[in-house]
Amino acid sequence: MSTGNRLEGKVAIITGATGGIGEATARLYLDQGAKVMLVARSQEKLTALTKKLGGGENIAQAIAEADNEQQTANAVQATIDAFGGVDILMANAGTEGLVSPIENQTYENWQQVLNVNVIGVWLSMKYCVAPMKARGGGSMIAISSVAGMTGFPGVSPYTASKHAVFGLVKTSAMELAESRIRVNAIGPGPIDNRMMHSLETQM
C-alpha cells in the first residue's frame, strides 16, 4: 500500500538494482510514485526483480557493468527514452573484492574494486548531469560505506574506494550546486545482503 507520492512525476535510475539496497530503494521509490530504471549486469536478476516489484509501466530495466562507459551511457539514454528524463540517480553498484592483508592483495583485485566502486559511481554521475540540468535540477545519491570513514583490516581496496566516493561526492556537490543538482553520499553499516555474507565467508 502506498504511503505517499513524494516522488510523483520523478524519474530515478538505480545502479546495482538487484542487490539488497538496490531492491529496497526501488520498492521505496515506486511506492512514492517515481518511475524507476533498474540497472544491473544480470538480465536474469533484472527480470526476476521486475516481476517481484509487480512490473508495470513505471519500471524499466537496462543491463550495464558499472565500470563500462558505453553501457552506462546507454542505460541513461534508455531511461530518457522510456520516461522522458532523469531526476534521481542512486549510484549503488559496488563490489567488496577479496579479503586479504595488504601484502597479499593483488593489482587485479585493487583495479576491479576501484573500477566498480569509484569509476562506476563517477560514470553514472557523469552521464546523468546533462539530463538533470535539462530538467532544472536533480538529486544524486552515492552509496559509500562506514568503511569510507574509518579503516577495516583485510579490505584495503574496498576501504580506499569508499573513502574515494566521499571525496567524489563532496567535489561534485560543489560543482553542481549552481545547476540545482544535489549530490549526497550514504555510508551504511553492516546490512544483511550478498556483500556482507561474502565478507563474512572470506573472514
- Read off the DSSP letter of residue 118: I
Catalytic residue, chosen from 29, 107, 127, 158, is 158
- Read off the DSSP letter of residue 149: S
Residue 55 buriedness (CB in 10 A; 0-12 / 13-18 / 19+) = exposed
H helix or E strand, kind and range, residue 51: helix 43-52
DSSP, residue by residue, 160-194: HHHHHHHHHHHHHHHHHGGGTEEEEEE-----SSH
Grid cell of 199 as nine digits? 565478507
Query: In 66-155, which ranges are continuous DSSP H helix?
Result: 69-83, 107-114, 120-134
* 158 is a catalytic site residue: yes
Cα–Cα distance for residue pair 140/142, rounded to 1 Å: 7
Cα–Cα distance for residue pair 172/125, rounded to 1 Å: 9
User: 3-class SS at 66?
Assistant: coil
Q: Is residue 63 within 8 Å of 41, Cβ to Cβ?
A: yes
Which residues are marked as active site? 158
